[in-house]
Structure 1
């Protein structure tokens, strides 16, 4: 009997030190708000008997700051590709090797070995999109394919423009509008950017993330925004349209990662593999209305996504899209300085 008791104690001790023991039944995901399909989560919960809790954040900076503090209690997060190298360099992520998971075969070739996560050692695709403009064409009937909507609004839109306050997105847009290149440290360009932003701000009604609701309700008539958000707005109001700024726009992706201090590692790995299944990725895209990097997921998406103007970039604008990238720290510091002044 003593031998049996010792064995039980030893086994309990062993289990307590493994991720399997701590992972059983739970998964805590830290993600952008309104960005996760409830039906897809229920499917995962039912399949693996895991209770999923999702906590929202509203920006890359918010998420990074929270995770940097440590002890967040989250297992997973969904940083954008221009922030992901920072998470990796700062040792915030667990190397889960998604490239060796069963469903990695479904990752589209162009997303299998991205510059921001070579070999997919840490991340799997979640969604991808574009930063552009969104306009209620009942209010303004002119050209919406320009950052002038935001930085030099026509009279019809003055006092009715929102700016989604994702710092890098806004800085990129202002740089492209002023003829610069993404991640530029050119002080001449950045002075123009600063002046453009400060001059434009009095014409804005707000700097908020909640565009799906407020564009639909008419509180905003125009905004900088992401294409999936614009898609959902148009479904509610067909007069709302997405613009592809001719000065240039940024193509981005968000990616699912596991935190270094995750308590539920095995369940997190299961979820990464689960999200590389075409049916599950398609279900998620059907909710948030963005494309994803999983080949074959299209057939599981709503039919209206196939040729949606927010998803299918018009031929005349394909050449002006630029990929999102991580700017050098000294350039980031310059952007932050301008951004801080804009917030005053």
Structure 2
């Protein structure tokens, strides 16, 4: 799109009142990750009917969008996949950096590796991928992938792992001394063997798992920090661990899909979630930080000290943002993952 057209469209977008935005908006997001209060507020403000559809992994979302005919307007990929989504031509260059509320994006999250200057995406939430354990079942050190890959007897058959390839395979790579995106054949052989040996000790590979930890259907697992926080609030026997072998930090960001049917409403939504009070609604529901300045004032007080949000000083070192793996490495990993999940 030519620069002039962007400015003209943006002027219309940001000066239009609620009546301009009547219609629909279809959001494709991770499961149990969209605040109903946020959606209601957007619907009431702009007279737009919002429909939210869930996915459980970046690869699932990408495949669906590439296939076409999906009807979605907004998607929320992880930083490790945003460049892939852009390269595959599924995201619209919607220029969030030119929107009114972009001034609220924290400087740390503007020139990010996965979307320099934010021409495609808006911060949604950020956190980590680590270990969750029920201390009533296991009282040992939670800060290790050993719980998942070489579990003690009391945890065998009670473990859940995430169906997102880079989370679980990535954990196995780190457990074996490697870094994500490595193509070191020895490391990958060890990671594959680790997964094969560990799989019989797992109960499931399930994404939507907050309630299952609360009800103690699961005693341990690979989990996201905010999901672990939400579970702990309902069951105080649950703790979240930051594996000393290495763990992933990540940010999920909202973007408009290239073949979206409701582009104007989608742009309104991106601008809407960059307002501190609305980003605060996202965090209040998901229990993750969000990347918008001033949003802390609209979050629960307990988020300021929660160990799932504030990484302990002695465990900050092993945490790294996932890089974007090359197509060749992605193909290697997919072969391993396909073998594990069959």
Report the TM-score, using the length of structure 2 for normalisation: 0.93
Following superposition of structure 1 onto structure 2, how do residues 87-98 of structure 1 map, counting pairs within 5 Å?
Answer: 87-98=85-96
Q: How many residues align?
A: 327
1:202 to 200, 203, 227: 200
Counterpart in 1 of 2:9? none
Verify: 1:234 aligned to 2:232, yes or no.
Answer: yes
User: Is the 1:67–1:92 Cα contact (8 Å) retained in structure 2?
Assistant: yes
Partner of 1:338: 336
Q: Identify the residue that residue 75 of structure 1 maps to in structure 2.
A: 73
Secondary structure, aligned partner of 1:124: strand
Please give the root-mean-square deviation of Cα atoms over the aligned residues, in Å: 1.6
Instruction: Encode CA deviations 1:189-215: one digit per residue, 9 max, x unaligned.
Output: 000001100001111111111220111
What is the aligned partner in structure 1 of residue 3 from structure 2? none
Q: Conserved in 2, the CA contact under 8 Å of 1:32 and 1:57?
A: yes
Structure 2: runs of 5 or more not aligned: 1-11
CA distance in 2, matches of 1:341, 1:321: 28
Distance 1:289 1:339 in 2: 29
The answer as to whether partners of 1:23 and 1:264 remain within 8 angstroms in 2 is no
Separation in 2, partners of 1:187, 1:298:
44
3-state SS of 2:329 partner: helix
Residues in 1 aligned to 2:214 and 2:162: alpha-carbon distance in whole angstroms: 15
Q: For residue 29 of structure 2, what is the aligned residue in structure 1?
A: 31
Unpaired runs of 5+ residues, structure 1, are 1-17
Conserved? CA contact 2:22–2:46, under 8 Å: no
Report the CA distance between 1:24 and its aligned residue: 3.5
What is residue 145 of structure 1 aligned with on the other side?
Answer: 143
Give the greater-gyration-radius structure (CA): 1
Q: Indicate the SS of the match to 2:139.
A: coil
Match of 1:320 in 2: 318
Cα pair distance change 1:262/1:22, threshold 3 Å: farther
Task: Report deviation, 1:23.
Answer: 6.4
Runs of 4+ in 1 over 4 A off after TM superposition: 18-23
Aligned to 2:249: 251
Deviation string, structure 1 residues 106-156 (Cα, Å, up to 9, x no partner): 101110111101110000000001000000000000011000010000111
